[in-house]
A and B are shown apart, each in its own frame.
Chain A
Amino acid sequence: MDDNNKKSPLKLPQNSIKYARVIAALLLLALLILRGVNVAREAQLGSDTWLRLSVSGLVIGSMYALIAIGYTLVYGILFMINFAHGEVMMIGSFGGYFIFELFNTIPTTAADGSQSTFLNTSPVLAILIAFIVGMIIAAVAGYYLERIAYRPLRGAPRLVPLISAIGASIFLQNAGQLLFGPQRRQYINPTVLERGIGWNIELGGSQVVITYTGIFTLILSAILMVILFLLVQRTKLGRAMRAVAQDKQTAALMGIDVDQIISRTFVISGALAGAAGVMWGIHNGLFNYFVGFIPGIKAFTAAVLGGIGNIPGAMVGGFFLGIIESIGPAILGIDFQLKDVIAFTILILVLIFRPSGILGEALTEEKL
């Protein structure tokens, strides 16, 4: 082929592109390591900061993981990015918020006779109900999202459901804004789970607080992830889901109601996102209608990182992204406001050098 194009790209033989990529990857890695070593040598940050960052990274990572699982479930079954998934998380946040608010308005007397609210005298019950409500509302939202915006577009070319998803995301965000106002609201946690308090650890001359909310988030996410894993691997529903993900037609021929399975997938992914939303509120406190957007994108990044369609991959990807995001700016010695840049850059790099993700894609190649 000759090049009559003015801005003709370099016409490289195939092999040199491969070599170029390997060399570029190694160079990049070397650069990063060098930078990391430099920063460590300057030792501006004490080990207390590292601990703090790691823990907060883990906590955020666990929330990303829950949302990422939702993305991966939907992508595995429908081969589409559920752009509105972040908004489902937001709905969960609101659900939990209102429950806490409600319980906080019910006056009760505490064990020691003082005036208190229901929220604080039965915190376990309150938290339980908040999560259940948040998860249910989010699950319902996920269900209707699929019914309204995705199901009618089942056979359409890839672009069409994507646009529909974008539209749904915009709609839900703005509905949230109109309904609940643009102001940021603060979660009122039960005093037992107040933000900021936790185990104090002496390290490197200063205090590090491992917050109770953080621990709570980690444990609960882990429990949910285990439940999900068991559900997908061991139950009939899980088998059906995996079957539909592999081959819809054959699954239908085997008697599986494909529509119902797809609905249930959305319900489950919505529930997980809802849980993540409540956790976000409990741990981070402030939230509004926009809370789902960036975590949504990041969670998708995490799902892709781990290998889209791959559930353990989503979990790994979530944690990985959370930690890198937290520690990354510190290691590289750059500003925290650039931590989103790190997340996206990692995404791009992973997709260039290892498109199937960390744990490898579970989806088969396009066969001819």
Chain B
Amino acid sequence: MNPVLETRHVSKIFGGLTAVNNVDIVVPEGSIASIIGPNGAGKTTLFNCISGFYKPETGNVLYYGSPIQGMLTDKIASMGIARTYQNIRLFKAMTALENVMVGFEPRLTQGWLTAVLKTPGYLKEQNYVIREASKLLDYVGLKGLGDNLAINLPYGAQRRLELARALANKPKLLLLDEPTAGMNPQETDEMNSFIRQIRDDLNLTIVLIEHDMRVVMNISDQISVLDYGKKIAEGDPKQIQSNPKVIEAYLGPGAAALSEKYRREKKQ
């Protein structure tokens, strides 16, 4: 049984900078995997390699066992991989509903001619898309906001809209880039449970990049830690929390020893 996603020896080099250095990650089906690491560790670059924005210099990205690195991003989307973005990238001048409708693109079959002539086949498809897109909006909690322009929505709603658009691709693998950035604790908790809910309802596999440790430790089945482009640790939340290398990466050298000291003192 192939894992949903596997990166083998993936490296991405920009000029003199190796942003991603020989990273191997395996994501089993149905799991929620997180990628964490200090800023600049290469997490978004890795995402970009996976979703097709970058072509890695070395290595393979395997989706259910088949290599997809370097493929065009629309092809990748039609294969069932969808993503959201660190800085929200919605289609600003389009309404919320339309944003989600764009996500149905890979599944559309009607062309321009039938669109102009408004054939029954075209209308059937249009209605289907409108109906399903509205359902998605409801699902993410944006019921009734479909006719608002995307830029007019509040921040939290925009994040959820981006999620809805990603879900419109009918993905099997969902890549979320810092889904709780800029949210207050309450919104973060809601997003937390929502991510889990999506995974359960829709049978997805989810990979996230996150900085908020509450989210990461709470919902991840597996955590991979990157630092300076290399993977320095991997495991479940408990393992990662006490991994000295991870502590050092975040807090600097010597922090690991200090943390160990505190833990021993606490036990006494």
Contact = CB atoms under 8 A, between A and B. Distances in A.
Contact of A368 (B53, B72, B111, B114): B53
B85 A4 contact: no
Nearest to B113: A6
B111 A5 contact: yes
Contacts of A6: 113
Contact of B44 (A4, A14, A368): A368
A58 B78 CA distance: 53
A3 interface: yes
Contacts of A1: 78, 106
A14 B109 contact: no
Contacts of B109: 2, 4
Contacts of A5: 111-113
Interface string B104-122: 0010011111100000000
Contacts of B78: 1
Contacts of B111: 3-5
Contacts of B86: 368
Contacts of A2: 109
Contacts of A368: 44, 48, 53, 85-86
Contacts of A3: 111
Interface in A327-357: none
A4 B114 contact: yes
Interface string B126-167: 000000000000000000000000000000000000000000
Contacts of B110: 4
A14 B48 contact: no
Nearest to B122: A4
Contacts of B53: 368
A33 to B, nearest CB: 33
Q: Which residue, B72, B78, B86, B111, has most C-beta atoms of chain A within 10 A?
A: B111
Interface string A236-252: 00000000000000000
A130 B107 CA distance: 67
Contacts of B72: 14
B48 A4 contact: no
A359 B191 CA distance: 48
Interface string A37-63: 000000000000000000000000000
A6 B113 CA distance: 7
Q: Which residue, A1, A2, A3, A368, has most C-beta atoms of chain B within 10 A?
A: A368
A1 B79 CA distance: 11
A14 B71 CA distance: 9
A123 to B, nearest CB: 50
A6 B109 CA distance: 14
A3 B72 CA distance: 18
A360 B110 CA distance: 42
Contacts of A14: 71-72
A7 B78 CA distance: 23
A342 to B, nearest CB: 34
A39 B111 CA distance: 50
A360 to B, nearest CB: 11
B90 to A, nearest CB: 15
Interface string A1-36: 111111000000010000000000000000000000
A365 B217 CA distance: 35
Nearest to A365: B14
Interface string B87-99: 0000000000000
B176 to A, nearest CB: 14
A321 to B, nearest CB: 28
A29 B90 CA distance: 44
A2 B110 CA distance: 9
Contacts of B112: 4-5
A3 B85 CA distance: 30
Nearest to B87: A368
A4 B109 CA distance: 7
Nearest to A5: B111
A368 B14 CA distance: 13
B178 to A, nearest CB: 13
A6 B44 CA distance: 40
Interface string B56-93: 00000000000000011000001000000110000000
A266 B215 CA distance: 50
A156 to B, nearest CB: 13
A4 B108 CA distance: 11
Interface in A135-153: none
The 5 A-B residue pairs whose C-beta atoms are closest, nearest first, are A4-B111, A5-B111, A368-B48, A368-B53, A6-B113
21 contacts: A1-B78, A1-B106, A2-B109, A3-B111, A4-B109, A4-B110, A4-B111, A4-B112, A4-B113, A4-B114, A5-B111, A5-B112, A5-B113, A6-B113, A14-B71, A14-B72, A368-B44, A368-B48, A368-B53, A368-B85, A368-B86
Interface of B: 44, 48, 53, 71-72, 78, 85-86, 106, 109-114
Given A1-B78, A4-B110, 14 more contacts: A2-B109, A4-B109, A4-B112, A4-B114, A5-B111, A5-B112, A5-B113, A14-B71, A14-B72, A368-B44, A368-B48, A368-B53, A368-B85, A368-B86
Interface of A: 1-6, 14, 368
